[in-house]
Amino acid sequence: MLNISKNTVKGRFDLSSFESYKLTIPNNESRKRVRILLYCMLVAFVILFLPWTQNFRSRGMLTALKPEHRPQTVHSIIPGRIEKWYVQEGEFVNKGDTILFISEIKDEYMDPDLLGRTKLQVDAKFLSVRSYEEKVKAQENQIGALTQNNKLRLEQAQNRLQQAQLSIMSDSIMLEAEKLNLSVAEAQFERMENLYEQGLKSLTELEQRKIKLQETLAKRISAENRLLSSRNDLLTAEIELNAIDNDFQDRLAKVNADRYSALSDQYDAEATLTKLENQLSNYTVRSGMYYVLAPQSGYITQAIQVGLGETIKEGAEIVSIMPHDYSLAVELYLAPIDLPLVKTGNKVRFIFDGWPAIVFSGWPQLSNGTFGGVVYAIDNFTSKNNMYRILVVPDPDEHPWPDAIRPGSGADGIALLNDVPIWYEIWRQMNGFPADFYTLKEAREMKNSESK
């Protein structure tokens, strides 16, 4: 009772007879409930200050880290018909093992002795090239012989020219001598004729002197003829000298034309030889493509082309191989709004399909059945689903991933961000704010750098 008035009813009534009053009287049980409620409120208040790891979740798929370790298909380089299979699905093959044998379907490659016949063509064309080379060498030798012969002929013609010049000089001197003899003979004849008229000389002596004069005149004319003949010999020598050079140039031009023609034929033969050698190499390489080999060690997962006698096109998929040795990674896709929260080296927790787990996303240390990972790479461009792809590899500081998981299995990734109090996370979630981009340490470093 409040005991507001001085008049009291205490002691006048038996309050214990009223049931409603009994309920208002505190007892030990009610005190326990109040104490429990207070304890719960205290615990809830303490929990609000516990650290909470901010995170976001994304579904992904297991894959191989390196492109060459991912499942691949073996293609046929050439078209053909399947003749024999050497492997079965699920079978392990080593690198270089034969998967199947195909036969040729193109008519230009069906000759059973194609390589031998092509080799004969190559050898024949090789001999043709050698023949042209020898022909060119012979013509080069012919050019050398012509040059040497022309040199000798020029020397011979120059000697003849010099002889003609000397002969002209000699005949000129002889002509002058005969002219002098003629003038002397004429003077002697005139004196003899005067002496004859005076009766001092006989007619016989006069006639002898006249004969001597005629002989001297004949010698002068003969000397003059010899001089003209020597001059003709000089002209002939000069003409011969020019003719030798012209003849040499004509013959040299003809031999050079034949040489260039042989060189042209040689180059054509060499081009044809190179083409035939290339063709022979292509045929040789193609003959080795009839056996389809495993590009790397792994398991045959699926035979895409089946049966015997089935024709396949060039570049057709034949079988798919899963490499034996590979490094696992998880392929996650993030929305653009979550991309700024992730960077290389961030921790990620995974729940793999088929492995039971008890997950506390905010307390990863209390989670059970999850596996750790580290962000390895982040794409710089969105994928076809307009989301960004990241690759996560096993965390070396955590337990290794299960051996039984295979590429293609599903994985639920939990990206771990900053550690904040629970009350802050509740407040952020209630207000729809994004997670913190930076840790407290990074925020302090940024603040210190800005203040400087």
What does the pLDDT look like over 95-129, one tens digit per residue? 889 989 988 888 788 778 888 888 888 888 888 88
- The mean per-residue pLDDT over the stretch 202-226 comes to 77
- The mean per-residue pLDDT over the stretch 404-419 comes to 76
Task: Give me the helices (H) in 288-299, please.
Answer: none
- The mean per-residue pLDDT over the stretch 9-38 comes to 67
The predicted-structure confidence for 8-17, as pLDDT tens digits, reads as follows 666 666 666 6
What DSSP letter does each residue of 366-414 carry, written as one string?
G-BS-EEEEEEEE-SS--TTSSEEEEEEE-TTSPPPPTT--TT-EEEEE
pLDDT at 254 over 80: yes
Tokens of 164: 């003609």
| Collapsed DSSP state (helix, strand, coil) of residue 215 | helix
Q: How is the chain split into domains, by residue range?
A: 54-68+326-451, 114-288
Contact 395, 372 (CB under 8 A): yes
- The mean per-residue pLDDT over the stretch 226-242 comes to 78
Q: Residue 209's pLDDT band (boundaries 50, 70, 90)?
A: confident
Q: Which residue has the higher pLDDT, 230 or 276?
A: 276
The predicted-structure confidence for 47-61, as pLDDT tens digits, reads as follows 777 776 666 677 888
Mode of pairing for the β-strands spanning 317-323 and 371-378:
unpaired
Specify the DSSP class assigned to residue 358. Answer: B
Q: What value does the mean pLDDT of the chain take?
A: 78
Q: Which fold does the domain 54-68+326-451 belong to in CATH? A: Elongation Factor Tu (Ef-tu); domain 3 (2.40.30)
pLDDT at 163 over 60: yes
pLDDT at 25 over 70: no
Contact 266, 129 (CB under 8 A): yes
pLDDT at 299 over 50: yes
The predicted-structure confidence for 132-161, as pLDDT tens digits, reads as follows 888 888 888 888 888 888 788 778 777 777
Q: Residue 405's pLDDT band (boundaries 50, 70, 90)?
A: confident
pLDDT attached to residue 322: 86
The predicted-structure confidence for 311-336, as pLDDT tens digits, reads as follows 888 888 888 888 888 888 888 888 88
pLDDT attached to residue 440: 44
Q: What is the CATH number of domain 114-288?
A: 1.20.1270.60
